[in-house]
Amino acid sequence: MNDLSVEKQYMKMAIDQAYIAEENGDVPIGCVIVYQDQVIGRAYNQREQLHDPTAHAEIIALTQAAEYIGNWRLHGCTIYVTLEPCPMCAGAMVLGRLDRLVYGTDDPKTGAVKSLYNIVQDDRLNHRLDVTCGVLEDECRKQLQDFFRRRRAENSSQ
């Protein structure tokens, strides 16, 4: 399913999750996983809250999706995330065998789909995902830029 209106609907859900991360003092990244037109995973970054470097939105949502399906193989699933996944998350998507990845904005510092690497489509690996990037890109980018702008202002006033 590549209907842009549907893709935007799910990305808006991921953006809503990112706002929860921000409210909890974490980098605003959100994620949803869809299987057969149903959201089966929904998460936001929780690294600060859980004191866990692996508590990325994607990892938490992948765990929820696998639990829902009852299998670690997530065939038929599409993952929507507000920021280009890092190497850890991109690797987890390959290992989970999701069908598709849809993300909002590129991550020039740690992006592992387009910016620095392309883990999810690497021919040397046993699985590849279809990728759509740039869905609600401006909104996703602005959310992150505003967060880091506020964080820098807070740190400079201390």
Catalytic residue numbers read 58
DSSP structure class, residue 65: H
β-partners of residue 121 are none
Dihedral-angle region of residue 136 (phi above 0 means left; psi in -120 to 50 means alpha; beta otherwise) = left
- Beta carbons within 10 angstroms of residue 94's beta carbon: 19
Dist CA 135 CA 153 (whole Å)? 29
Q: CB–CB of 7/17 below 8 Å? A: no
**Exposed/middle/buried for residue 127 (C-beta within 10 Å: 0-12, 13-18, 19+):** middle
Q: Which stretch of DSSP H or E encloses residue 15?
A: helix 4-23
User: Which amino acid does the sequence have at 127?
Assistant: H
